[in-house]
Amino acid sequence: MDSSIKFEDAIKKLENIVKELESGDVEIEKALNLFEEGTGLSKICTKKLSKIERRIEILKKGEKGDDVLELFEGLDDQ
């Protein structure tokens, strides 16, 4: 699997794979290949999201009115 693929492109491919598998009109061998490809795309997306999450910083005001940078921790409620 090509890890240089854009996140958006990987998600689109993954969505198409899911649709094809959910259709039920796929031979077992092709379904296995699609599943393997989907698993690889899922891992790539997870790594890319983790990398992005580490880079995001939120600028907020500190107790004394000064700007404080905090690492973004993600959205726990989603």
Quick check: is 28 in a domain?
yes
Helix orientation angle between 7-23 and 28-55, rounded to the nearest 10 degrees: 150
Give yes or no for a contact between 54 and 71, defined as CB atoms under 8 angstroms apart: yes
Residue 77 lies in a domain: no
Q: pLDDT (tens digit, 9 = 90+) per residue, 16-65? A: 999 999 999 999 999 999 999 999 999 999 999 988 877 765 556 666 76
Residue 38 in contact with residue 18, Cβ under 8 Å?
yes
Does residue 38 sit within a domain?
yes
pTM: 0.68
Domain count, the chain: 1
The answer to whether residue 41 sits within a structural domain is yes
Domain enclosing residue 61, as ranges = 7-71
Q: Assess contact for 1 and 14: CB atoms under 8 A.
A: no
